[in-house]
Structure 1
Amino acid sequence: MNILLTGATGFLGKQLTIRLLQEGHSVYALARNEKKSESLMESVPTALQPELTVVKGDIGKENVGVSEEAMEDLKDTIDTVYHIAAYLSFDDTEKEQLFDINVNGTKRILDLSRYIRVKRFFHVSTAYTLGDQLHAEEELHPLDNPFVNYYEKSKCEAEHLVFSYGEFFNVNIFRPSIIVGDSQTGEADTTFALYGVMRSFEIMKKRLDRQKTSPDNKIKFLCNRDTAQNIVPIDYVVDVLTAGLTHADNKKIYHITNSNPPSNQVVFEALKRELNFYNIQLVPTDYEGELTEQELRFNEPMKVFHQYLDKTLTFDDTNTQELLKKDGTEPLDLNDRVLKTIIAGR
């Protein structure tokens, strides 16, 4: 197949590009500039590079920044579009940029897809479009839900937009939860979420080591130990996305989530063992005691995530399990070995 990707130069996009090329597809990847183009090409094995075509484009621009000549070349050529590109920020002061990239940008790539007459459009969204609900079904969520932030709202609006184009081509929505490293190698190319925590822990450990701080002297980290975070290895996400090429049913939504997510306590115990760092003490995010100046600085980067650390969300993934069964792919098993591999591969 001939496949067009947005977001191909990102963490997920690169891995999906490589997998698609390995499976014999030709990939057309949108890239904003030469530096990103070169980085993507260098990440692809030499033998597969002839099947990768980089197309200059930017979903923040009219016609996705694709030249008229390139648009004509793509017409009646592309079988499937994977729209991965998005703007991720939990800062509500960036509302305008969030909606321009995540909603208007999605409309731009939908319009381009309609113009070049693609057959299918796969929208890679996020599991966190459920607003203030604690459980999500594999269906569109109401736009009038209360949302945690404008990022969630923008992604929910984009999903509704995608389904409105169903008269022009087949559409599907794939909703990954928190993507982490490869389950076999631990390899990851991201500083988001879990990896931001790891980096903070590493910096704090070095600081305490220099201060010759005793392991009995605990540094408080605000995080509810019993709630769970829905992490999924990137190779599992790619498994589901590629299985969709053959087995996705039109207008179905697929949660790429973890049915048995580890608790924060389990994750942080594994992290402390890997870093040999036992000075951390988890306390609830609504902790009423006083934090030292050092603890305040330590916790500051994670403030934005507290609304997610406070609750355990569950996601129905019936559609995804049926998809994987048709594809002969095993469901996710994020066991202790996999968790250790992911943390060790940071």
Structure 2
Amino acid sequence: MNVFVTGGTGFLGMDLVNRLVEEGHDVYVLVRSQKKADQLFNRLSQKEQEQVHIIEGDLGKEKLGLSVVNMKELTGTIDAVYHSAAYLSFDPNDRDALFEINVQGTKNLLALAEQMQVSKFIHVSTAYTLGDRKEGFEQLYPLDSNFVNAYEESKCHAEHAVMSYQDRFDVHIMRPAIIIGDSETGEADTNFGMYGVMRAVELLKKKMARSRDSLSDKKMKILVGLEDTTHIVPVDYITKLLVAGLTRAKKNHVYNLVNPSPPDNHLIMEAIKEGMDFQAIELIPYEDYSTLSLEELKLNEPLQVFKPYLNRTIYFHDDNTRDLLAKANEPSLEMDRPMLLRIVRGFRDRRKTLIKQ
């Protein structure tokens, strides 16, 4: 197939492009600059590069700002669109930018997809358009839901825009949970979710190593809902599902791409401690917030933005996703301690990997 991809130079997008190319598809990737395209090509072999076509454009513009030549080339050529580009921010000051990119950008792409005469539109959303609910369904949520932040709200509006096109081409909404590194290599290029916690631990380890205090003599407290579970999902598992959806997803359906057996936060934090080789952490529940020292309060402050995601147990229905896996003859995700350790160590050793490259 000829597939058009937005967000193809991002963390998830590059993995998606790689898998599409491996399966023999020709991929047209929207980029805003040649520098971004070079980053993508560096991950591909010479032969694979021949299957990737760079299209310069901008989601914020009508027809994405594509040239007349590009429009002529793409119209009647593209079979399916993957829309994975998005602006991710939890800062309330970014509300206007979030809606401009995530909502209006999606509408611009939908209009272009209709003009290109595509037959399928796969929208990569987020499992957290459910707002503050503790039960997630594979259906659209009301636009007036109580959202945790403007990012969630913008993605919910984008989902409604996508579904409004279901009479013009097949649409599929794919909702990944919290995406982390590759299940085998641990490789990742993201600073959100669990990586915010790992980054805090990494900085703490460096700080304590520089101080006169022995690492074994002092422990710092981190607030965690130890019994809560977190829907973290490896990037390669998500791309497997996205590509399976290209030929096997049911039209006009929503898919919750979540962890069928999400690990509890105690297991995640123990894996972080072991994988980062740093035991000078004491995990305490949020009810013990008052016991934190000023230094510990400062340590925990940047982690609070992730609290609604890393410290809230949510039950997600995923019947559509299970059906998709069965049709593709693919196993479901089984995340165990060794997988978590590989992912944590992938983060720990990321600079060594960059130096080797």
Bigger drift between 20-29 and 208-217 goes to 208-217
Give the distance between the partners of 2:325 and 2:231, measured in 1 at CA.
19
The amino acid of 1:213's aligned partner reads: S
**1:239 equivalent in alignment to 2:240:** yes
Deviation at 1:276, TM superposition (A): 2.1
Deviation at 1:120, TM superposition (A): 0.3
Residue matched to 1:22 = 22
Correspondence 1:200-279 to 2 at 5 A: 200-211=200-211, 212-279=213-280
Residue matched to 2:128 = 128
Deviation at 1:293, TM superposition (A): 3.3
Give the distance between the partners of 1:163 and 1:214, measured in 2 at CA.
54
Alpha-carbon contact 1:259-1:314 (below 8 Å) kept: no
Residue matched to 1:320 = 321
Alpha-carbon contact 2:230-2:311 (below 8 Å) kept: no
1:17-63 CA-to-partner distances (Å, cap 9, x unmatched) read: 01101100000000011110111111112211011000001112222
**1:33 equivalent in alignment to 2:71:** no
Give SS of 2:42's match: helix
Give the distance between the partners of 1:208 and 1:196, measured in 2 at CA.
18
Correspondence 1:29-178 to 2 at 5 A: 29-178=29-178
Give SS of 1:72's match: helix
Alpha-carbon contact 1:230-1:258 (below 8 Å) kept: yes
TM-score normalised over the length of structure 2: 0.94
Alpha-carbon contact 2:194-2:310 (below 8 Å) kept: no
Give SS of 1:30's match: strand
Residue matched to 1:294 = 295
Give SS of 2:256's match: strand
TM-score normalised over the length of structure 1: 0.97
Alpha-carbon contact 2:89-2:151 (below 8 Å) kept: yes
Residue matched to 2:182 = 182
1:167-191 CA-to-partner distances (Å, cap 9, x unmatched) read: 1110000000000111111111212
Superposed CA RMSD? 1.2
Residue matched to 1:4 = 4
Give SS of 1:102's match: helix
Give SS of 2:58's match: coil
The amino acid of 1:52's aligned partner reads: V
Give the distance between the partners of 1:68 and 1:179, measured in 2 at CA.
36
Give the distance between the partners of 1:240 and 1:307, measured in 2 at CA.
25
Give the distance between the partners of 1:61 and 1:330, measured in 2 at CA.
40
Give SS of 1:166's match: coil
Percent of residue pairs bearing the same amino acid type: 47
Deviation at 1:76, TM superposition (A): 0.3
Deviation at 1:290, TM superposition (A): 4.7
1:117-150 CA-to-partner distances (Å, cap 9, x unmatched) read: 1110000000000011101111111112111111
Give the distance between the partners of 2:333 and 2:281, measured in 1 at CA.
30
Residue matched to 2:350 = none
Give SS of 2:288's match: coil
Alpha-carbon contact 2:9-2:31 (below 8 Å) kept: yes
1:164-219 CA-to-partner distances (Å, cap 9, x unmatched) read: 01111100000000001111111112122212211211111111122233424221
Alpha-carbon contact 1:285-1:310 (below 8 Å) kept: no
Give the distance between the partners of 1:166 and 1:288, measured in 2 at CA.
48
Give the distance between the partners of 2:288 and 2:34, measured in 1 at CA.
48
The amino acid of 2:68's aligned partner reads: E
Give the distance between the partners of 1:227 and 1:301, measured in 2 at CA.
20
Alpha-carbon contact 2:4-2:81 (below 8 Å) kept: yes
Alpha-carbon contact 2:223-2:289 (below 8 Å) kept: no
Classify 1:287/1:307 alpha carbon distance in 2 versus 1 (closer, same or farther; 3 Å).
farther
Residue matched to 2:193 = 193
Structure 2: state its 5+ residue gaps: 348-357
Deviation at 1:302, TM superposition (A): 1.1
The amino acid of 1:298's aligned partner reads: L
Give SS of 2:283's match: strand
Residue matched to 2:308 = 307
Give the distance between the partners of 1:257 and 1:40, measured in 2 at CA.
27
1:273-310 CA-to-partner distances (Å, cap 9, x unmatched) read: 12221111122335342533322331222121122333
Give the distance between the partners of 2:163 and 2:210, measured in 1 at CA.
55
Structure 1: state its 5+ residue gaps: none
Give SS of 1:345's match: helix
Deviation at 1:93, TM superposition (A): 1.3
The amino acid of 2:44's aligned partner reads: V
Alpha-carbon contact 2:228-2:264 (below 8 Å) kept: yes
Give the distance between the partners of 1:216 and 1:328, measured in 2 at CA.
51
Deviation at 1:68, TM superposition (A): 2.3
Give SS of 1:179's match: strand
